[in-house]
A and B are shown apart, each in its own frame.
Chain A
Amino acid sequence: MKCHIPGPNVKVLGRTIHALARLGDELYLESLSDCILLRTLNAAESAYAMVKFNKNFFSYFNYNYYCTDDKEGLKCKISMKSALNTFKSPTHMDKQVENLEIKLDADSCKLIFVVKCKHGIVKTHFVSILDCKAMQAVYTKDLVPNRITSPHKILSEAIGNFQNSDDQLTIEAFSNSLIIRNYIDSKTDLTKVIRTQISIKPIEFDSYIIGEETTITFTLKEFRALLAFAEALSLPIQLHFEVTGKPAVFIVHNGSTFEAHFVLATSKPDIPTQETPTQNNSMIDRKRKEVDNTQGTVRKKAHLSIDLSKCLDEDSHLFNFIDIPEDGTEVEKENQTQKVWHTSKIDCDNIPPSPTSKMKLKTIFKRCFESTFDVRSIQGNVLAENSDSE
């Protein structure tokens, strides 16, 4: 594969790489006969992003440059850091760079970026290829009941009201309004955090279709990356989502040349009042186990990074979290069996890897094992009334 990207488009690619770098540590590049796909997955596997650059994004595009017989696309995985090195300071890139050439040879172990700058300066980056596999998530974006198209400004202004310390966001979509608020974990001390809520009228959005009223919670960090991306390119954002627990897909595209999908896992809300001490213990226990549990991670990985052929199954929803039965006895039983299994495992040679500091496993997995809660059960039941009689 060999392609040329003209100066102004290099900036777009630079922005893309920077946005993806805020999600994952590895970048997957796949070249198909008519487009290039960039993908990444975050460490906690709760966020995935895919950006597709069509043929007309490039000034020259030759998929079969190295004359390979391979009909399947060329794939490679590189580290995000090295990709970032190639695209330092995307803001000034369009002024300095005249042309960017990307070369990928099926037999080579390097991905080559040739940056042709003004005044005849040529920078060549040889980026080591870590793997030759592609990764793809399965999600539906077209057949979802809830779709909102918003100018990026509306959303970024709304998100600006939240604190930097907020890490998750809840969107409550109703047919007559959209409510965004910061998600408060059942373990957070309510006397320490500001609870913020924003209600936006549907008329502010370009289009607003809510087929099924729902509440979704997802991470704010990745959403901020997406907003920054949309803002840099001043493009609107499409929000496609189903119900709680199903992944939400955020789309930024300019119609013809490129399309970016950010897929974020959504989780169920829980309320602090539900928590009991016994449940709490088992939760901590399980959380630790999940982190240590190599088999569990492997299983989860396999589920997520299955190769293309296996991914076509529409029903395999990627980011589904496992629902924990609300029944306390069942939880305990399950916990015991896990414990037994855990102790027997210690004897094995299989030493679980220590979690790296970069991984946000702690926060992600915690959520999976908290008592699930159905939002419908509290509707109409006011927990605390306002002091004034409004």
Chain B
Amino acid sequence: MKFRAVMMDSSPMREFANIVSTISKLSKECILRLSSDQLYFIVSEENNGPAPPILWCEVPQALFFSEYQIVGVDDEHKDIYLGIISANLSKSLVTLKTAKSLKMKLTKKQCPCLTLEIDLPSITMQQSRLVTHDVPVIVIPRKLWTEFHEPRVPRPDISIELPSLKQLRTTIDRMKTMSPEVVLRASAEGRLTLQIKTDLAKVSTRFRDLRVEAFEGPIDHSDSESESQINEDVSRVCYCRVDAKKFSMFLSADNISHNRTICSIVHKKLVTLCLQTEENVKLQCFITGIVY
């Protein structure tokens, strides 16, 4: 098993540091899957059974690394799966924003490590200094790989583009102090409503004129009493109740320079948030709906 990769350009390095820091905010531990063309960061909840992971992030290597070599265990198992404490990785990569280059490799230094060699410029002269971080990792045995397969999600009823994440985050952060759950309601007309209900108040924030990517209506509302706006066609609205904290956590990804974020809702069951960048990084977050 061998892995070695080199990053030379400053903007992908900054982006990579941002991705890793976002992931460290979302979870304590993550799985880093290395394959010949992509890097995957996978976060799955403990004991969540067959449910999809919470986070699935794909980073195409070609746009980030100038050099990339990987050799798996054998020809059938070309990938490498590593268990890693995400905070360790993000703390080691903090300096990446000013670095000249990053060399990543898999080493065995008394325990398996992901060695990060960062070449930092020195402020005083043209000199540079080499910083080496040995981040301990766990090599995931092949029999457990199946647990980290790409999630198969049901076809969403609606996919709608999200407004600016920063704006959304301030809204959600206010809401989550009042209620632990938030209802996301999206209509085929491009309206997104965030709503919380407490004993004392009902708060909704509406975003209008959002682009609807796909709609698989009509939605069956027969089993629930649904409240909607007057003159709104109920069958063109779907909603899902989710944990406000989990939703807000995903929104901290706003430090990644993304070009669009899509929110897909499977009526009452699942919310999938997918952030895509120009470099084709895909960060997907799966939040299961809360049903009473």
Complex contact B125–A191 (CB within 8 A): no
Output the least CB separation between A247 and chain B (Å).
27
B110: contacting residue among A199, A201, A383, CB under 8 A: A383
Please tell me if B107 contacts chain A, counting CB pairs below 8 Å: yes
Which one of B110, B129, B135, B136 has the highest number of Cβ atoms from chain A below 10 Å of its Cβ? B129
Please tell me if B122 contacts chain A, counting CB pairs below 8 Å: yes
- Complexed CA–CA distance, A387 and B114 (Å): 10
Within 8 A of A (CB), among B130-175: 130-136, 138
Binary interface encoding of chain B residues 104-139 relative to chain A, with 1 for a CB under 8 A from any of its CBs, else 0: 011111110101000010111101011111111010
Closest chain B residue to A202 by CB distance? B127
Q: Could you say which interface size class chain B belongs to? A: 20 to 34
Measured between beta carbons, the chain A residues less than 8 angstroms from B65 are none
Majority secondary structure, B binding face: strand
Complex contact A387–B106 (CB within 8 A): yes
Output the least CB separation between A355 and chain B (Å).
32
Complex contact B111–A158 (CB within 8 A): no
Complex contact B131–A194 (CB within 8 A): no
Q: Could you say which interface size class chain A belongs to? A: 20 to 34
Majority secondary structure, A binding face: loop
B131: contacting residue among A154, A198, A272, CB under 8 A: A198
Measured between beta carbons, the chain A residues less than 8 angstroms from B134 are 194-197
Measured between beta carbons, the chain B residues less than 8 angstroms from A157 are 120, 122-123
Complex contact B91–A204 (CB within 8 A): no
Within 8 A of B (CB), among A168-194: 190-194
With A190-B111, A384-B108 in contact, is A197–B135 under 8 Å at CB?
Answer: no
- Complexed CA–CA distance, A385 and B115 (Å): 12
Complex contact A163–B138 (CB within 8 A): no
With A190-B111, A387-B1, A387-B108 in contact, is A204–B136 under 8 Å at CB?
Answer: no
Output the least CB separation between B251 and chain A (Å).
27
Complex contact A190–B110 (CB within 8 A): yes
B113: contacting residue among A192, A195, A198, CB under 8 A: A195
Please tell me if B204 contacts chain A, counting CB pairs below 8 Å: no
Measured between beta carbons, the chain B residues less than 8 angstroms from A190 are 110-111, 136
Which one of B3, B106, B136 has the highest number of Cβ atoms from chain A below 10 Å of its Cβ? B136
- Complexed CA–CA distance, A194 and B116 (Å): 11
Closest chain B residue to A386 by CB distance? B107
Output the least CB separation between B209 and chain A (Å).
46
Please tell me if B4 contacts chain A, counting CB pairs below 8 Å: yes
- Complexed CA–CA distance, A163 and B105 (Å): 21
- Complexed CA–CA distance, A317 and B247 (Å): 60
Please tell me if B195 contacts chain A, counting CB pairs below 8 Å: no
Which one of A193, A194, A384 has the highest number of Cβ atoms from chain B below 10 Å of its Cβ? A194
Please tell me if A161 contacts chain B, counting CB pairs below 8 Å: yes
Complex contact A196–B133 (CB within 8 A): yes
Output the least CB separation between B258 and chain A (Å).
29
Measured between beta carbons, the chain A residues less than 8 angstroms from B107 are 384, 386-388
With A198-B130, A201-B129, A384-B110 in contact, is A154–B122 under 8 Å at CB?
Answer: yes
Complex contact A388–B110 (CB within 8 A): no
Please tell me if B179 contacts chain A, counting CB pairs below 8 Å: no
Measured between beta carbons, the chain A residues less than 8 angstroms from B124 are 151, 153-154, 204
- Complexed CA–CA distance, A158 and B3 (Å): 27
Output the least CB separation between A270 and chain B (Å).
14
Which one of B1, B91, B138 has the highest number of Cβ atoms from chain A below 10 Å of its Cβ? B91
- Complexed CA–CA distance, A194 and B95 (Å): 15
Output the least CB separation between A166 and chain B (Å).
11
Complex contact B129–A199 (CB within 8 A): yes
Complex contact B4–A388 (CB within 8 A): yes
Complex contact A161–B131 (CB within 8 A): yes
Complex contact B133–A195 (CB within 8 A): yes
Please tell me if B36 contacts chain A, counting CB pairs below 8 Å: no
Cβ contacts A to B, 27 pairs, < 8 Å: A160-B95, A161-B95, A161-B131, A192-B85, A192-B136, A193-B136, A194-B134, A194-B136, A197-B131, A197-B133, A197-B134, A198-B130, A198-B131, A203-B125, A204-B127, A383-B109, A384-B108, A384-B109, A385-B108, A386-B107, A387-B1, A387-B2, A387-B106, A387-B107, A388-B2, A388-B4, A388-B69
Closest 9 CB pairs of A and B: A195-B134, A197-B132, A191-B136, A190-B111, A198-B131, A384-B109, A388-B4, A384-B108, A386-B107
